[in-house]
A and B are shown apart, each in its own frame.
Chain A
Amino acid sequence: MSDFKLVWKNLMRRKLRTFLMLFAILIAFMIFGVLAALEQAFDSNASSSGDRLMIVNKINFTQPLPISYVQRVRALEGVKQVAHMNWFGGYYQEPRNQITTFAVDPGSYIDVYQSEFEVPDAGRRVFLSEKTSVIVGKTAADKWGWKVGDHIPLNSNIFSQKNGARVWDVTVAAIVTPKKETADANFIALRYDYFDETRSFGKDQIGWMALTTTSAAYNDRLVKQIDEMFANSPYETSTDTEKAFSKAFVAQLGNIALMVGLVVGAAFITILMIVGNTMAMAVRERTREIGVLKTLGFPGPRILKMVLGESLLLAVLGGVTGMLIAAAATTALRGAVGNFVGGLAITPVIMVMGAVMMLLLGLITGLMPAMSAMRLPIVQALGRS
């Protein structure tokens, strides 16, 4: 009989008890998986931004900047391309069907963000040439069943047209897919020229700029240079990396990492206690058996390994199942929370963290009982009832 078989038999000796422990472990890892994915999704909105810089109004990023700034930034040494964007407050049919909508200059927008999205060539040409065309993220397109060529009545909860209309009629030029699984694709980009000449107020204003540089070496200098250039103007700027900007934005939601940490911590302390106790109980029940094994010549370390193997097997079986359920749950949740946090997914990093926690759980819960089993003198073990 191999050691593994012995471990397995021990584990299956009380099926109900084993099943209950597996279940508790599964729940904890499921909670860990889902919450870690959620936190990662918040974070990845921050980390998916490459080396771009963001220029916003110094007062706050919701305050406008004049469009004339774009040319002045483009002229700076080291600047590769500058995209500008204006928040549109878009929704489809009902105010609650919000879609992240920006008014953009098509050429520079695609240039700056091409590392994030796959834009089909045909669609790109249409977006570049036709004023009322838009590009639509895959999540939004799938949700509302939009196809290339469809007309969409796009509402804004901020802007209205000069003629009093509250709806912009736009045509889908392309449906774009994010290159990263965790990127948010519930968005529409419409053309700034169309938007600016039709809107009833705010003409020649933009929301913010995003720029790429010819080399990251320029970044630090540009951050300073841009803000100095516009200092003491009616529209002072605040320039930073897109990463820093997104990070600060996520921080506005409150301390998500802390909340996630508290809940996951509570869940793990719970199973640590439950499984630890139960393992100790299970080994105590087997004291006589361990004595018999020792009499048969099993050395102490081998017995230690067998008990540890049992707790590890339990942690891995429960943990892997829990993570699989978490993976299924995040896929299912992806549509529901798309508006908020972009793509949810169990990434390799989360899997590795999960694996480490399974190992730790198995070792911690098994160590005490395993040590006492290893040290148990034969006579005492056989004598104990």
Chain B
Amino acid sequence: MSLASQVSAVVSMNVKSIGQRFWPSVSTALAVALVVVVLLSFLAMANGFQKTMRGAGRDDIAIVLRAGSQAELNSGLTRDQVRLIGEGPGVVRDANGDAVISSELYLIVDGVKRDTGTKANLPLRGIGAAGAGLRDGLKIVEGRMFASGANELLVGRALQREFRGFDVGSTVRFGKTQWTVVGAFETGGTVFESEFWADLPVVQSLFNRGAAVQTVRAKMTSPEAVAQLKAYSDNDPRLKLDVVSENAYFADQASGTTNLIAKLGWPLAIAMAFGAIAGALNTMYSSVASRTREIATLRAIGYGGFPAFVGTLVESLVLAAIGGVIGAAAAFLFFDGLSAATLGASFTQVVFQFALTPALMLNGLILGMVIGLIGGLLPAMRAARIPIVAGLAER
């Protein structure tokens, strides 16, 4: 009998006997499934958050902040600085020769979260005339754009989903000021959908900000032109500014939270995996123990130790694979597309959706198989070493 056919015979005996140890086998598979679910829930959360932030940024838009301010909220620019940026190299000009830039104000207002009923920080962005045109894939899905000079708000779809009282047509009070929600917009699920937009001069006057602006977004002729604008700003002592591409800005904003989530997820999943390995080892040792006589018999009729080794290992891997697939499927069912909101680096709520990709699910399956591999290895070695005579004597 060839080694291959010995191996396949023993493997099929092993796999078919799983049913005899039904509960231990179920518990092993479920333990693996739970580990996979925990890992994938964290990875899906980190990935969803990152997608929301990163999707918002464009390579050919420069965002200009006061040096060292780190976030739009902390920044502040003078009128002179805004003018100088408009005159900078690489900035796109429209038919009239005006720079395509949007001066913006980024304020925080309160909104009430639907699920907890507690107040949370929401960003109100006053945008210049060019502002809407600088956002990719902007679609007004309900109502209309705010009118210039009016107390009118445009609301992001994601914000509407998580916070109450911002339907199109409703009146909103921020302190003493009253606003009407005139439209809702989508930007393909990016962070902008967690914002209110309004006309910059209106926001400036109703929030007592004079002519102050916090950031400037400038449309650049090419992604490379961002570096030119940066060099121009660095060489002018009047401009103590940070000039970065919008893409780089949002990547940086995403990194802190994404790292935190991922750094929490992996250690937790690995710790749980150790527990699951202990469970798998127990199950597989008992599997080997219950088949001692069977293995010894096979050895007596000429089977080698190797088929016994492979048989046990495959049994463990099969259990782990079943668990892994169940875990990945459950994670996909429960978590993919789940809407959540957390405090982002700008100190405001970022609404995002958990996003589980095939690559992430593969991570989960691999972790599951590693549990099966380690949990099966030692018992498989014991199976290979069962002495024939003593094994046959075993009851």
- The distance from the CB of A89 to the nearest CB of chain B, in whole angstroms, is 6
In whole angstroms, what is the CA distance A60 to B31 when docked? 45
Q: Given the known A-B contacts A236-B176, A251-B120, are A63 and B275 also in contact in the complex, defined by CB atoms under 8 Å? A: no
- B121 close to A60 (CB less than 8 A): yes
- The distance from the CB of B109 to the nearest CB of chain A, in whole angstroms, is 5
- The distance from the CB of A226 to the nearest CB of chain B, in whole angstroms, is 15
- B68 close to A95 (CB less than 8 A): yes
In whole angstroms, what is the CA distance A274 to B113 when docked? 40
Residue among B41, B118, B278, B340 with max Cβ neighbours from chain A (10 Å): B278
Query: A348 on the interface (CB 8 Å rule)?
Result: no
Question: Of the candidates A89, A201, A385, which one forms a contact with B74 in the assembled complex, judged by CB atoms under 8 Å apart?
Answer: A89
- A157 close to B69 (CB less than 8 A): yes
**Contacting residues, chain B, for A305 (C-beta < 8 A):** none
- B31 close to A63 (CB less than 8 A): no
- B272 close to A27 (CB less than 8 A): yes
Question: Of the candidates B41, B119, B271, which one forms a contact with A31 in the assembled complex, judged by CB atoms under 8 Å apart?
Answer: B271
Query: A270 on the interface (CB 8 Å rule)?
Result: yes
**Contacting residues, chain A, for B121 (C-beta < 8 A):** 60, 62, 252
- The distance from the CB of B282 to the nearest CB of chain A, in whole angstroms, is 5
Q: Using an 8 Å CB-CB cutoff, how does the interface string of A20-50 with B read, 1 for contact, 0 for none?
A: 1101100110110000000000000000000
* B:259-280 near A, CB below 8 Å: 268, 271-272, 274-276, 278-279
Residue among A24, A60, A266 with max Cβ neighbours from chain B (10 Å): A60
Q: Given the known A-B contacts A20-B281, A59-B175, A270-B35, are A248 and B69 also in contact in the complex, defined by CB atoms under 8 Å? A: no
**Contacting residues, chain B, for A263 (C-beta < 8 A):** 38, 268
Q: Using an 8 Å CB-CB cutoff, how does the interface string of B281-309 with A read, 1 for contact, 0 for none?
A: 11101100000000000000000000000
Residue among B27, B71, B340 with max Cβ neighbours from chain A (10 Å): B27
Query: A278 on the interface (CB 8 Å rule)?
Result: yes
- B175 close to A236 (CB less than 8 A): yes
Query: A239 on the interface (CB 8 Å rule)?
Result: no
Question: Of the candidates B23, B113, B119, B279, which one forms a contact with A270 in the assembled complex, judged by CB atoms under 8 Å apart?
Answer: B279
- The distance from the CB of B210 to the nearest CB of chain A, in whole angstroms, is 10
Closest to A272 in B: B27
Query: A115 on the interface (CB 8 Å rule)?
Result: no
* A:345-384 near B, CB below 8 Å: none
Question: Of the candidates A27, A60, A155, A276, which one forms a contact with B271 in the assembled complex, judged by CB atoms under 8 Å apart?
Answer: A27
Residue among B34, B340, B342, B349 with max Cβ neighbours from chain A (10 Å): B34
Query: A145 on the interface (CB 8 Å rule)?
Result: no
* B:355-395 near A, CB below 8 Å: 395
Residue among B120, B175, B276, B395 with max Cβ neighbours from chain A (10 Å): B175
- A232 close to B176 (CB less than 8 A): yes
Q: Using an 8 Å CB-CB cutoff, how does the interface string of A218-241 with B read, 1 for contact, 0 for none?
A: 000000000000001111100000
- The distance from the CB of A379 to the nearest CB of chain B, in whole angstroms, is 19
Query: A292 on the interface (CB 8 Å rule)?
Result: no
- B118 close to A251 (CB less than 8 A): yes
Question: Of the candidates B24, B115, B208, B285, which one forms a contact with A255 in the assembled complex, judged by CB atoms under 8 Å apart?
Answer: B115
- A63 close to B175 (CB less than 8 A): yes
Closest to B113 in A: A251
- SS class, residues of chain A in contact with chain B: helix
**Contacting residues, chain B, for A262 (C-beta < 8 A):** 38, 41
Query: B336 on the interface (CB 8 Å rule)?
Result: no
Query: B202 on the interface (CB 8 Å rule)?
Result: no
- A273 close to B30 (CB less than 8 A): yes
**Contacting residues, chain A, for B285 (C-beta < 8 A):** 16-17
In whole angstroms, what is the CA distance A91 to B73 when docked? 16
- The distance from the CB of B328 to the nearest CB of chain A, in whole angstroms, is 15
In whole angstroms, what is the CA distance A5 to B67 when docked? 71
In whole angstroms, what is the CA distance A29 to B274 when docked? 13
Query: B76 on the interface (CB 8 Å rule)?
Result: yes
- The distance from the CB of A253 to the nearest CB of chain B, in whole angstroms, is 5
In whole angstroms, what is the CA distance A58 to B271 when docked? 45
Query: A129 on the interface (CB 8 Å rule)?
Result: no
Task: Give the bracket for the number of chain A residues in contact with chain B.
Answer: 35 or more
- A17 close to B119 (CB less than 8 A): no
**Contacting residues, chain A, for B113 (C-beta < 8 A):** 251
- A266 close to B37 (CB less than 8 A): yes
Closest to B283 in A: A277
Question: Of the candidates A158, A234, A271, which one forms a contact with B275 in the assembled complex, judged by CB atoms under 8 Å apart?
Answer: A271
Residue among A58, A201, A266, A280 with max Cβ neighbours from chain B (10 Å): A266
- The distance from the CB of A152 to the nearest CB of chain B, in whole angstroms, is 17
In whole angstroms, what is the CA distance A253 to B37 when docked? 22
- B70 close to A95 (CB less than 8 A): yes
Closest to A256 in B: B342
Closest to A336 in B: B263
- A21 close to B282 (CB less than 8 A): yes
In whole angstroms, what is the CA distance A166 to B76 when docked? 13
In whole angstroms, what is the CA distance A236 to B67 when docked? 32
Query: B341 on the interface (CB 8 Å rule)?
Result: yes
Q: Given the known A-B contacts A59-B109, A273-B27, A281-B24, are A201 and B76 also in contact in the complex, defined by CB atoms under 8 Å? A: yes
In whole angstroms, what is the CA distance A266 to B358 when docked? 23
In whole angstroms, what is the CA distance A21 to B70 when docked? 49
- B271 close to A30 (CB less than 8 A): yes
In whole angstroms, what is the CA distance A54 to B26 when docked? 54
**Contacting residues, chain A, for B146 (C-beta < 8 A):** none
**Contacting residues, chain A, for B74 (C-beta < 8 A):** 89, 157-158
- The distance from the CB of B48 to the nearest CB of chain A, in whole angstroms, is 12
- The distance from the CB of A45 to the nearest CB of chain B, in whole angstroms, is 13
- A20 close to B282 (CB less than 8 A): yes
**Contacting residues, chain B, for A273 (C-beta < 8 A):** 26-27, 30-31, 279
In whole angstroms, what is the CA distance A271 to B110 when docked? 43
Q: Given the known A-B contacts A17-B285, A59-B175, are A27 and B274 also in contact in the complex, defined by CB atoms under 8 Å? A: yes
Query: B140 on the interface (CB 8 Å rule)?
Result: no
In whole angstroms, what is the CA distance A69 to B23 when docked? 69
**Contacting residues, chain A, for B73 (C-beta < 8 A):** 62
Query: B343 on the interface (CB 8 Å rule)?
Result: yes
Q: Given the known A-B contacts A95-B70, A157-B68, are A58 and B282 also in contact in the complex, defined by CB atoms under 8 Å? A: no
16 contacts between A and B (CB under 8 A): A23-B274, A23-B275, A31-B271, A57-B175, A157-B71, A166-B67, A251-B118, A252-B121, A252-B349, A266-B35, A266-B272, A270-B272, A270-B275, A274-B27, A277-B282, A278-B282
Q: Top 10 nearest A-B pairs by Cβ distance? A: A274-B279, A273-B27, A27-B275, A20-B278, A24-B278, A24-B275, A254-B342, A59-B175, A248-B118, A251-B118
| 16 further contact pairs, Cβ within 8 A, besides A23-B274, A30-B271, A63-B107 | A17-B285, A21-B278, A27-B275, A60-B107, A60-B110, A60-B121, A62-B121, A62-B347, A157-B68, A251-B118, A252-B120, A255-B115, A269-B34, A271-B275, A278-B24, A281-B286
